[in-house]
Amino acid sequence: MLTRKQHELLRFIQVRLEDSGISPSFEEMKEALDLKSKSGVHRLISALEERGFIRRLPNRARALEVLRQPEDADPRPAPAVAATAPAALRAPAGAPPAPANDVIELPLHGRIAAGVPIEALEGQSTLPVPAALLGSGEHYALEVSGDSMIEAGILDGDFALVKRTSTARDGEIVVALVRGEEATLKYLRREDGMIRLDPANAAYEPQFYGADEVEVQGKLAGLLRRYH
């Protein structure tokens, strides 16, 4: 048997999933259940998870799936779900509830130069990223250092979301490993048997390398920026 608050939270999560396919945030759950702190939400979530009513999807933030409803389900309506979600985000009528997989934890592999090449470090941290920014395939994130790509809208401190690939077309923005030890974020172009890495800043010159000196390690799939 669940407590009244556990019932309310379970129904609130279920209604939100049915409405938009995205589970509510902890702040939304706190407000809907009129709790004083998010720690109360954490306790309710843990209790529901231990009893097998919900599960957290691995490697994703804000990702909950309702597994079952209690036999003694409370007939009262669920706490109000915000009606402001755009229609495009709502599940089609009759569609099954989708698990909340709107945020993915990408490996964050250190910093990459948007200037002269620097080493791209292999880190162990992760970066939460909206899944809508990514397509198919394997992705990772790099923090941008430098200003050579500012005319492409890529600023110092941004996070480049990179699709892992070893091939790219001319004109695509890629993570290029130079001479096996330095990585940089640039436009890729091929010219007279050479590889040209172009900046997006008139203050910088293109960089030319032999075809065997440059290895494509991925191409830009998206960008995240934090405002302080």
- List the catalytic residues: 148, 186
Q: What sign does the dihedral 208-212-214-216 (CA atoms) show?
A: positive
Residue 74: is it exposed, middle or buried by C-beta count within 10 angstroms (0-12/13-18/19+)? Answer: middle
**DSSP for 120-147, written as a single string:** ----SEEEEEEGGG--SS-EEEEEEESS
Pairing of strands 103-113, 139-145: parallel
Main-chain dihedrals φ then ψ at residue 185, nearest 5 degrees = -110, 115
Q: Where are the alpha helices (DSSP H) in the chain?
A: 4-20, 26-32, 38-50
The two three-digit tokens of residue 75, written as one number? 């007939």
